[in-house]
Structure 1
């Protein structure tokens, strides 16, 4: 590598990448090169389709990063296509970031519990320490101690800070100015990853707008929640283009099944997108109503203000509430194993009728 590239590595976001991966070429699949031809004999594919394959295209490997999908997602998330990597849900994005930035056995990440468990799972599978700076509970809100996070990251040499906004399972939205200040404090020290899986339900600006001035910010987005495509497994990392290129080289050769790409493109078309926006509005209204009505029920100790598509509540007897809901055929998330949530359940916002049924079951204490 030449001196100019080395200088850029020392001063840009690539300084946060593991040194042994900065010039890592990864695996170049048969679809990595943009080649044109009539007879495709470069990927050891079957020359005949499977008898069950009506259009005969399943025998071909898919494009690793379909241009049409990248452009559609970039338009959705207000970034350039080269700032975006699509993959198998946000989970793959988390795993790629940990592998690309953290040295096994030598680095650490920072999380703030209670939070999404995959940050710690990915780190531990990679041999990376997990530093927990717990959220602070204040009445009906959860607050992030940004000063303590910065202190811990600097003192213990953390390479990634994972922030979830809105939080899962808390539903709390983090202020962008505080995220930006943390990123500036940790510049050249750590990557600040903001998981925005639920941001559409918050009606709030995205942390993607910080990337232009805070190059150590990366944002996770997904089509699983607001866009109702959980089974398609389409997630995105939005970050500085240089970091995205490193993540691409660390990614598996064919991460996006063609059928999933096609479904995502249909879902992002104008008419479907309009219906999605309408349904997001319904979810927000139902969430606010569910919060208010839950708080009035006997046996409900506390309901937290949520900016996501779920509500977190504490119960006098969480086991009884969980059992009564399950007996009625309603499955909610038992959060009692999470740090500090020994009496809590997380209830996803359903249809108006489903939400009314939840309230009816909880109100009729047997």
Structure 2
């Protein structure tokens, strides 16, 4: 059985849109795409008057080397969100098929499913926010085509052991595609699931340049999977998903100098995460700081609403995650610069002192 047997038959059979850039990439005078032959003001030779490559060769090669995959196993798009949407549209028939998620987790999995009118099966994480593999597998029905695992998990920060990921991939073979979202893995010491792709054709991995590579504004994300899955998704993605300036920004960030800078910032974030965890847990009004392997910490407060408003009044915006299951007393705080982190602690300390005097 091929993993593509899990995909929608009409997607497998469809004739993809053939863009002008896909049909002809060579030549000296391009008159095939109804583009302007003049550069726009301020372009400085970047070439924004021309459509970009659908999958920029230089970026594909650089990312393939970074992640240790063949270029045919990699799809680049507008952040991880686009890859999630493509997967749902390719594998889930509206009103019939389903995805499986483990809340609390990243909200875009269910959003993309509901836009497609696919069902969402939920298997809650354990009370310590670790994955219940047995419960997950017991919930898989023939309708479930995609199983999403987020590690480190957003918004809780815990990791899924690779042995659990491999067990899931093996058990779900021929039944569902397992998607491992590794948006935050650079902040942890966990092994990537990318190494399992060649052994499990039903395993896919999401990666992004938004977090560790500081390119959230450029919107560059990758899906790593079997060449067959990548080829299928290329049929349904937008003709020109990546703007040229974004590709240039990504290549700069992934250069030798850029990679060194990223490693230095990662070291600071890891150090500051430890500082914040130890300092926050000592503050009055803080119930618990969840263990985190990401670039954030989830913090339980006696009065999370008041803590949120006091931080906001000081110009500090954190994430209110009280709507998530089992996090109704929590805020998620991203690890910033040492100065930003110190400011957060100062505001929370001052708030605690004010409450003690009241």
Q: Same fold (TM over 0.5)?
A: yes
Alignment of 1:238-249 (within 5 A): 238-249=224-235
* 1:19 equivalenced with 2:6 (yes/no): no
The runs of at least 4 aligned residues of structure 1 exceeding 4 Å deviation read: none
Deviates more, 1:314-323 or 1:42-51: 42-51
Aligned to 1:33: 23
CA-atom RMSD, angstroms? 1.2
- For residues 206-285 of structure 1, the aligned pairs below 5 Å read 206-285=192-271
Q: Structure 1 residue 84 and structure 2 residue 101: aligned?
A: no
2:106–2:154 Cα contact (<8 Å) kept: yes
Kindly state the Cα deviation for residue 156 of structure 1 after the two structures are TM-superposed: 5.4
Q: Quick one: distance in 2 between partners of 1:45 and 1:253? A: 15
Offset at residue 14 of structure 1 (A): 1.1
Measured in 2, the distance between the counterparts of 1:56 and 1:156 equals 49
Match of 2:105 among 104, 109, 115: 115
Instruction: Structure 2: state its 5+ residue gaps.
Output: none
Deviation at 1:47, TM superposition (A): 2.8
- Which of the numbers 139, 163, 188 marks the counterpart of 1:152? 139
> Contact 2:142–2:175 (CA<8 Å) still a contact in 1?
no
SS at match of 1:193: strand
Q: Which runs of 5+ in 1 are unaligned?
A: 1-10
1:322 is paired with a residue of what secondary structure? helix
C-alpha distance after superposition, 1:19-43 (max 9, x if no partner): 1111322111001134422211110
Equivalent position of 2:94 in the other structure:
104
Verify: 1:324 aligned to 2:314, yes or no.
no
Alpha-carbon offset, residue 267 of structure 1: 0.7
1:51 is displaced (CA, Å) by 4.0
Structure 2 CA distance for aligned equivalents of residues 250 and 354 of structure 1: 42
Aligned to 1:137: 127
Say if 2:304 and 2:331, in contact at 8 Å, map to a contact too: yes
Does the 8 Å contact 1:50/1:56 carry over to 2? no
**Shift of residue 309, structure 1, vs aligned partner:** 0.1
User: 1:137 is paired with a residue of what secondary structure?
Assistant: coil
Aligned-partner SS, 2:315: coil
Helix, strand or coil for the counterpart of 1:136?
coil
Alpha-carbon contact 2:46-2:244 (below 8 Å) kept = no
Q: Which residue of 1 aligns with 2:342?
A: 356
| Counterpart Cα distance in 2 of 1:30 and 1:183 | 38
Deviation at 1:157, TM superposition (A): 2.3
SS of structure 1 residue aligned to 2:99: strand
Aligned to 2:40: 50
Return the TM-score normalized by structure 1: 0.94
Q: Distance in 2 between matches of 1:21 and 1:253?
A: 16
Once the 2 structures are TM-superposed, how far is the Cα of residue 48 of structure 1 from its aligned partner? 2.8
8 Å Cα contact 1:211/1:217 also seen in 2 = yes
Number of equivalenced pairs: 352
